[in-house]
Amino acid sequence: MADHYSQTLSLDIGSRDDLSSALECLQTIVESNQRSTLPRNLRIRSKAYNETGARQHEDTLVWVLFSGTYLGDRQWGCWPLVSLTVEDLLFEIPVTALSLILQQTRNTLVSLHLCNVYLQGDHGEALAEAIKDHPILEKIFLKDLELTFTGLCDQEGFRDFIRFLSTCPQLTSVSLDIRIPRGQRLESFCVALEELWSFSSSLKHLSVQQPFHVLKGIRQVVHNIRRRRPPSWLEVNRYGQSFLRTQRTIHTIINSLATNSTLESLSLAVWRHNLLSFAEALKHNRTLRRLELHLEEQNLRGVPEMPPCVAMSFAKALKDNDTLEYLVIHGDESVLTANKVLQLNLAINRAGRKRLLNGMASYQEWIETIIANRDKLDIVFFFLAVNPAVLLVPLQRIPRRRSLLKLKY
């Protein structure tokens, strides 16, 4: 348990003693009238998954934090909270409470991290309005977020929550791994994601994982067909529509990736036939430094499958791309590592290809880069082949009377 005067307050709830310590810290915060003594970062984590009997203590903590008894409108507004992290809570967090926190900390909150939590309530529109035009929010991380309420799961409320992220002027990092029910809610998610991608002018890091239960359903249909168990027409149509809708969103991202000028890292769940399109887009993109793709198709061995031609396509794309430094495709990664041309191009980009070849690099920067990669002969040879004059500069500085150098062997 961290001291309440520190910059970070961590509340790890797993026993009655943990709960007592947490309540004591919160009571001190409530009674404090000095903003300088309040923690800037609040982290709440439950041990209910590891320790039995923690559920009742977790319920009490959530009630204390979000019911307004201890931390009401006035107290949240007086708390200069910069970062809020909530992890592994089995008890549902009221949507109204989360909306209140976002509203009362609009001038301080920079990071919101919700991992494996449940949101409960029917006021999804309030949460969407609270996130709209948030002036200083920079990072929002939603992982394994279960939407058990109706307000944010309807077509308009849920879409507005994701769509309004594009109105946050300082938002640079967005991670969405949300368990989305099928049907219109998936449609709303795709529409909102397309708007976020198209209208956000500050987004640098985007991670989106598809609703895996939809993809698993498609796999189950294929598996049943292979075992001569024909699925119903409604089942095929439901999963087929979900697949086609997510594909339209993926193609929207790919088509605009070539001209995007802000994104630096992208993590996305895709299908095998999307890989060549990503390789083509990389030929024109000049900002993306990390691309991480998760293959959702599986071969008969149960392992995501990637054809060898994919690695060659990415290798050709990187001949014209001096920005991409990391390429990760979760699947048959041996195909990527075996392609020496691809790995060399990535290593050259990491070494500073874009910085050195922009025409503004100094002689000292060239020398420092070559020395830093002296154990990687392929990289050294590439830079010397591009600019062999680097080796001539030291010779030009030598006086004529000392032009003959004594070489030591």
* pTM for this predicted structure: 0.80
The residue that leads in pLDDT, 338 or 234, is 338
Report yes or no: 119 and 161 within 8 Å, Cβ to Cβ. Answer: no
With tokens 């984590």, the residue in question is 45
* Per-residue pLDDT, 221: 56
Residue 178's contacts (CB-CB under 8 Å, 6 or more residues apart) are 142, 145, 147, 189, 211
Beta-ladder partners of 327: 291
Nearest CA-CA partner of 243 in 276, 275, 221, 223: 221
* Per-residue pLDDT, 300: 45
Report yes or no: 24 and 2 within 8 Å, Cβ to Cβ. Answer: no
* Per-residue pLDDT, 80: 76
> pLDDT by residue (tens digit) across 158-187?
678 888 999 999 999 999 887 665 555 677
* Per-residue pLDDT, 63: 56
Report yes or no: 2 and 39 within 8 Å, Cβ to Cβ. Answer: yes
- At 261, list the tokens: 């000028």
142-146, 255-259, 356-360, 370-374: lowest mean pLDDT where?
142-146
Of the pLDDT bands very low, low, confident and very high (cuts 50, 70, 90), residue 149 is very low
Kindly tell me if the per-residue pLDDT of 17 is higher than 50.
yes
> pLDDT by residue (tens digit) across 216-238?
555 555 556 556 656 555 555 56
Of the pLDDT bands very low, low, confident and very high (cuts 50, 70, 90), residue 151 is very low
175-184, 260-269, 341-350, 379-388: lowest mean pLDDT where?
175-184
Percentage of residues of the chain with pLDDT beyond 70 = 63
Nearest CA-CA partner of 176 in 147, 128, 209, 137: 209
